[in-house]
Structure 1
Amino acid sequence: MPHLAFDIGFCTELHKLQADVKKGVFDAWQRFQVRTLTQLLADPGLHIEKLRNARDPHIRTIRITGFWRGVVLAPESGDTFVLLKVLPHDKAIAWGVKQRSSINTVTRAVELRDAATLDQLTPPHEEKTEAPSESRLLAHVSDGELASLGIDADTIRRARTLTDKEQLEAFAPFFPPDQCEVLQYLAERISVEEVWRELVAHRVPAGGTGAVDETDYDTAIRHTVSRILLVTASEELHDILDKPFSAWRIFLHPSQRRIAYRPSYSGPAQVSGGPGTGKTVVALHRVKHLLAHLRDDERILLTTYTNALVTSLRSGLTALVDDEQLRDRVDVMTVDAFASRVLTTAPGQPHRRAIGGAEEERRWTRAAEAVQYPGSAQFLAQEYKHVVLAQDLRSREAYEAADRAGRGSRLTPALKPHTWRAFEAFTSGLEADELRTYLQTSAEAARVLTDNDTGTGPPYRHVVIDEAQDLHPAQWRLLRAAVPARPDDLFIAGDPHQRIYDSKVSLKALGIKVVGRSTRMRKNYRSTQEILAWSTALLLGRPIDELADTATAESLLGYRSALRGTGPALHAATDEATELDALADRCREWIDSGVNPSDIGIATRFKKTGDAALARLTAAEIPARRLRARASDPDDAVSIGTMHAFKGLEFRCVAVIGVHDGALPFPRAITPEDLDRLQHEADLLAERCLLFVACTRARDGLYVSWSGEPSSFLTEAGVRVSPA
């Protein structure tokens, strides 16, 4: 029976199609389900048509609607067709005639390239390239090494003309995607061995030895699990068509699947990677894998940093795990909520409300005044967080002997007792009012679990942690105590480049060793390469500490997107009112172009800026709501929230507004350099990461605006700050 499979590139563009076109795709798929190949070829409704002057006779078109056509790979052997693209009639033909398919002799997968455009690009480079061959981009890699990584002769010939990474980026949209990814890794001087291990090895099918029949497309399609999705049930296809990005939750890239469904890890395991690389999806699939092997009465904790992310994780888990009883064995909550639960259910623990933010700052000021501390309240708060709570120091003697490495302020031995008295004034004041800070709650909960003498043991068999980069050592101690130290105890997903709080952690010092069980993902599946490159410029050259203890800093080298599109639009306004008017115009343009309001997000540094944006959009009759929506808010509405609240979320189009001098970096968020040089640098980096996080929430469209002078982060990154 014939089948219509789907190229994963088509799935990522589904959100751009109108409802009648999606229905046409479903109808075409159904025809393949009920007709023989002979009937399909003769079906006037489907109208499978060869293309004149096509680079590849296997590329044909099918009718989707009266105006739209699908471009398919129609192999001569076998009966599985692959839908590659859906476009208006003339554009579909123009795109289809330029494509050429082939079978990779290493991975044995079907590949597609824009042969016509490559033929246009290559001769000018061959003629104009005067640099000697040894100075060209891939001179350090031999033809044999390239071939062993699945680079075919045609691509090798073209790649040898390139002299820098910018030229490779110009060719990238037209090369076969898997081959291009290999070339991009090699261009970053990542070793051949590492490229094989990270990219190629898991693409080679089991038993993949011997000669490859480069005409056997039927077998090759079955081997192309990294790009071709074979849908066998109408319900599954409806889900993909109705919720386009759910395709990424149903379909894992082989490198991601290898991490998520590894039978077992001998201890804590970590996956890191930039925004959009699929860390959260991998974590969710890991939960699904672990659920399948739980014994009676065992439970899993799936935890993250914010309530918004908890909601997202619950939604993702529901999509992945159909069995409600099985899902109920997973507790999904923030680390703060878990800490509170531990203390609430522990016998003999006093009830205390958790505080933070401005209320905590006021109490530090009060404590400094109470003991007439000669330094600042800000210093006391940071010292308590980064030394006392981080190292779980419980006495003055322990504090006076503590290692203050990482603190950029000098503290004389004579001043340490006075500092401890300020800590005591702060904590005793909280106790008198039946209060705790959020980090104190985690620290106390960790002690309760560690000192547990009830014989019940830790409450979980597995703990899976998402957005791990912002957790404080006290929170890590709590999570370490929540699960016995044994295989598959902790699964950690995080990205140091998205660290927007100033927690400094040594996992090894906390008893969490991931050496040999750590994987870094470099391929972005969310944002276009153009958006990603622009956003990455905000952080390039800034040292980022890894989560694990290694000799090297975290790097963005090799971080690439699988998607292509347009770069961000920039807008400079004279004042806030003009900026908000332009925002309303931009949102209206997105909506008029077919973007659902719920697929638009607006990120701001301050809540008051978001309030002003909400009022302006409402006045323009554009449905809008706060990120934490109320029951009365419209469902299909633009979401508005702070950059902190946008962490871990994604939207088709994102507007980042108010990126002006005085907002990013925000002076009140920056420790004065003369108070603590290292903390000053850490605070500046956190503000940079905050902007990076906000910009990388966008899939297709990014809009960045400011009024007055632009943020120094933009100008320092070399961003062109004149109006787009």
Structure 2
Amino acid sequence: MPLLEMMNPKEKLEKDLKVKVFDFLGKLQESDAIPGLHIEPLNNVADPRVRTGRVDIQYRAVLFKLDLKVGVKYVYVGTWNHDDAIKRAQRMRLSVNAVGGFTEIVEEEPEAASVVVDGGAGPFGGAAAPALSQLEQWGFTAADLTGRLGLSASLATAAMAAPDKEALLEIAVRDGGWQGEALMYLHDGLSLDDIRAKFSLDEPVEQDPEDSEDERIEKGFEHPTARAQFTFVGDQDELQKAIEATDFGAWRVFLHPDQRKYATKHYNGAFRLSGGAGTGKTVVLVHRARELWKANPDARIVLTTYTKNLADMLASNVRQLDPEVPLASALGEPGVYVTNVDALIARVLKGAGLGVAAASEAVLGLPVTHVSNRTANDAWQAAIDAAGSALPDELKTPGFFAAEYSMVVLPSRISNRAEYFSVARPGRGVALNRAARAKVWAVIEAYRASANIDGAIDYEEAAAIAASHVSLAGGDARLADHVLVDEGQDLTPARWQFLRALAPEGPDDLFIAEDSHQRIYGQKVVLGRYGIRIVGRSQRLTLNYRTTEQNLQWAVSVLSGAEYSDVEGAEESTAGYHSARLGPVPELVSCSSVTEEYDAVASRLLAWLDEDGVAPESLAVLVRDKATQARLATALGDRGVTVQQVDRGSIRAGHPSVLTMHRAKGTEFARVVLAGVSAGAVPAAMRSEQYSSDSEADALLRERSLLYVAATRARDVLVVTWAGAKSSLLDAAEREA
């Protein structure tokens, strides 16, 4: 029975072809002599180990055959049309990288014909190439690329000839493998040593000099960089997983060495992993949860995020990654407990019993036991109406009070006016003298008094009381050993204090994944103010695996001209954000009226649905708010397009989705329409934020981030539509382009 190693395929197979490939590989695992497989060598090949096999009359699989001490192993590379498979197989070579000591496949491209440029020859058309190429200007040589990084001679030659950064990036993206990623890192200014570390090039697999070349190739599969490209397939279940590895499934099977490092490394305290959309932060968290459980099956691991939808996705990903990982049914039990932060808080409060009185007194200045009910949405406005007549008009907004309460009062445990007079208010953007603070505190007192009469607390108070309860209970009563947080940029101070309190400080206590460019809720937070010390334990991911380079750069351009800071208070940059894939340029569609825009969106969806192989659920239309969502869904139905409106539930197969940009967080689709990106709709009205220029500017940052998040939901095709005047955020994107 041959062994089987499978390569992470670059090309996506249609569903019917996947079934045939699964059947072919399943038979191959039984015997390579089964009639109909037609495992055949080829002539004129770069590697004599290469073979092709018959998947059906039209398609052939490309494989490599290794003769090992334990028997025969086949390495499955991919399936293509007959002629394409033959041509690819003839160019491929399976070998051990001379620098990194890992197994890889290099496709040796035929020599490109020279292009006559201004009387001379060169690989790039247009004007004559500069005297020094881009990499030469930066001080790199071909020997650096081949001898220090282990790139193939052909790719190194092409890279060294690139006249500018754009040409270098195009070469990097078109390569599609680890070598292309290495060029991207060079493009973004990383040193050779930094790149070597990312791909573990200084940690080669130990080889026996007496081994054959096939045995050396077999051992090279153990290296982290090889494990990002290949997976051993032991049985039919593993084969099924590998064949169906798309989206998260691909990360389940093929984990990049950089991500693997963060998933497995131990830290002496809290650690922060930042990165743009689609860089694999969530995947690292899910893998890390499994690694922590494998290291200690009795560990209590909390995996959490801000919204319920994202928490449900995390739980699904854990099950998909490894069904053996136990999902705990209650907080404090061994295993991985997955839920959203507010649900965690509610469970702690429910289990606090009489202890909630002491915890609430520490937060509010009076003991309360009514911790299950939440205040009404208009509670702040009612308090302002009751006690805020002396306030200046610009402060008579629920937005100001909600932010002041969550950013200053609750995290500082302010329970009386004297304490409020002396508390620091960093980052609030509006100065308050003693007289102004007295007027503000009068409204806060009215708010608390009314809530007490109603027997309710708000979500921020719930988080603060839960944090207080866990802290008062002490170290032996902590409810978790490890806390893993996804989408940390959206959490408030009281929620951070709660998460900090869940696990005692120590090794691997708190692991945070966040992207400040995706902050679409709440205010800017600096974690050091709330007992979370991560200075010196922070890393950043920059390579996007979800969307195309064209879609990513358009999304990033929406952020241009704005200043973002991370959860450590440092400037956050988009420098270095790139995608591993290419695709069409996003299409911008201007419409004269809303009716015309509805027609345009419907026409686009119908055209996509008519294409062969397009799954309806891979299409989505994203809008700014629920009212627009409902109107658009009705309009599309009137135009013959049946869609599903997605709110709290999961996305179902069978129809395109219409959902808000907020709800789209954590999703991805092959093709996306951003509809209604008009002036007055995006950015949305920010009247409640106009109590200070800083607050209004921060709200505009969140609107930019929301459009960035929405645009990065598109894997392949992005269309942006508007009626009448377009959003000012599109003007910013056009200026950047």
Length-normalised TM-score, structure 1: 0.88
Using the TM superposition, give the Cα deviation of residue 442 of structure 1 relative to its aligned residue in structure 2, in angstroms: 0.7
Counterpart selection for 1:334 from 320, 334, 340 = 340
Aligned to 1:686: 702
Whole-Å Cα distance in 1 between the matches of residues 624 and 209 of structure 2? 58
Greater Cα shift, 431-440 or 68-77: 68-77
Q: How many residues align?
A: 703
Whole-Å Cα distance in 1 between the matches of residues 697 and 209 of structure 2? 56
Aligned to 1:399: 420
Aligned to 1:613: 632
Distance 1:240 1:196, change over 3 A: closer
Whole-Å Cα distance in 1 between the matches of residues 614 and 125 of structure 2? 42
Deviations 1:580-615 (A, max 9, x none): 232233233333332322333322111111112322
Greater Cα shift, 332-341 or 589-598: 589-598
Using the TM superposition, give the Cα deviation of residue 630 of structure 1 relative to its aligned residue in structure 2, in angstroms: 6.2
Counterpart selection for 1:277 from 276, 279, 286 = 279
Whole-Å Cα distance in 1 between the matches of residues 9 and 386 of structure 2? 58
Distance 1:424 1:250, change over 3 A: same
Whole-Å Cα distance in 1 between the matches of residues 61 and 687 of structure 2? 52
Query: Is the partner of 2:630 in helix, strand or coil?
Result: helix
Using the TM superposition, give the Cα deviation of residue 157 of structure 1 relative to its aligned residue in structure 2, in angstroms: 2.7
Counterpart selection for 2:618 from 577, 599, 604 = 599
Distance 1:680 1:98, change over 3 A: farther
Whole-Å Cα distance in 2 between the matches of residues 613 and 99 of structure 1? 49
Q: Which runs of 5+ in 1 are unaligned?
A: none
Aligned to 2:264: 261
2:40 is aligned with 1:48: yes
One-letter amino acid of the counterpart of residue 725, structure 2 = E
Aligned to 1:22: 18
Q: Which runs of 5+ in 2 are unaligned?
A: 116-120, 330-334, 357-368
Whole-Å Cα distance in 2 between the matches of residues 510 and 600 of structure 1? 41
Residue pair 1:118, 1:171 contacting (<8 A) in 2 also: no
Deviations 1:643-663 (A, max 9, x none): 111112222332221111111
Using the TM superposition, give the Cα deviation of residue 167 of structure 1 relative to its aligned residue in structure 2, in angstroms: 0.6
Residue pair 1:670, 1:683 contacting (<8 A) in 2 also: no
Counterpart selection for 1:583 from 587, 601, 615 = 601
Residue pair 2:269, 2:510 contacting (<8 A) in 1 also: yes
Distance 1:433 1:132, change over 3 A: same
Distance 1:212 1:587, change over 3 A: farther
Using the TM superposition, give the Cα deviation of residue 686 of structure 1 relative to its aligned residue in structure 2, in angstroms: 0.8
Using the TM superposition, give the Cα deviation of residue 693 of structure 1 relative to its aligned residue in structure 2, in angstroms: 0.7
Counterpart selection for 2:468 from 433, 442, 447 = 447
Whole-Å Cα distance in 2 between the matches of residues 387 and 438 of structure 1? 15
Distance 1:206 1:513, change over 3 A: farther
One-letter amino acid of the counterpart of residue 264, structure 2 = Y
Distance 1:418 1:339, change over 3 A: same
One-letter amino acid of the counterpart of residue 267, structure 2 = Y
Deviations 1:160-218 (A, max 9, x none): 2223221112222444722222222122222333222233447x433379999989655
- What are the residue-to-residue correspondences of 1:479-518 with 2, within 5 Å? 479-518=499-538
2:716 is aligned with 1:715: no
Whole-Å Cα distance in 1 between the matches of residues 64 and 688 of structure 2? 56
Aligned to 2:55: 64
Query: Is the partner of 2:424 in helix, strand or coil?
Result: coil
One-letter amino acid of the counterpart of residue 495, structure 2 = Q
- What are the residue-to-residue correspondences of 1:630-645 with 2, within 5 Å? 635-645=653-663
Query: Is the partner of 1:493 in helix, strand or coil?
Result: strand
Counterpart selection for 1:35 from 9, 31, 35 = 31
Greater Cα shift, 488-497 or 125-134: 125-134
Residue pair 2:67, 2:73 contacting (<8 A) in 1 also: no
Aligned to 1:159: 159
Aligned to 1:474: 494
Residue pair 1:24, 1:65 contacting (<8 A) in 2 also: yes
Q: CA RMSD in A?
A: 3.4
Aligned to 2:100: 107
One-letter amino acid of the counterpart of residue 284, structure 1 = V
Whole-Å Cα distance in 2 between the matches of residues 324 and 58 of structure 1? 38
One-letter amino acid of the counterpart of residue 115, structure 1 = E
Distance 1:372 1:548, change over 3 A: closer
2:711 is aligned with 1:695: yes
Whole-Å Cα distance in 2 between the matches of residues 127 and 619 of structure 1? 50
Counterpart selection for 2:401 from 355, 377, 380 = 380
Using the TM superposition, give the Cα deviation of residue 478 of structure 1 relative to its aligned residue in structure 2, in angstroms: 0.6
Whole-Å Cα distance in 1 between the matches of residues 550 and 391 of structure 2? 54
Residue pair 1:670, 1:684 contacting (<8 A) in 2 also: no
One-letter amino acid of the counterpart of residue 110, structure 1 = E
Residue pair 2:301, 2:480 contacting (<8 A) in 1 also: yes
Aligned to 2:168: 168
Whole-Å Cα distance in 2 between the matches of residues 172 and 536 of structure 1? 19
Distance 1:62 1:135, change over 3 A: closer
Aligned to 1:233: 235
Whole-Å Cα distance in 1 between the matches of residues 126 and 718 of structure 2? 37
Residue pair 1:104, 1:110 contacting (<8 A) in 2 also: yes
Greater Cα shift, 479-488 or 152-161: 152-161
Using the TM superposition, give the Cα deviation of residue 116 of structure 1 relative to its aligned residue in structure 2, in angstroms: 3.3
Aligned to 1:366: 385
Aligned to 2:568: 548
2:292 is aligned with 1:290: yes
One-letter amino acid of the counterpart of residue 110, structure 2 = A
Greater Cα shift, 422-431 or 94-103: 94-103
2:546 is aligned with 1:526: yes
Residue pair 1:501, 1:686 contacting (<8 A) in 2 also: yes
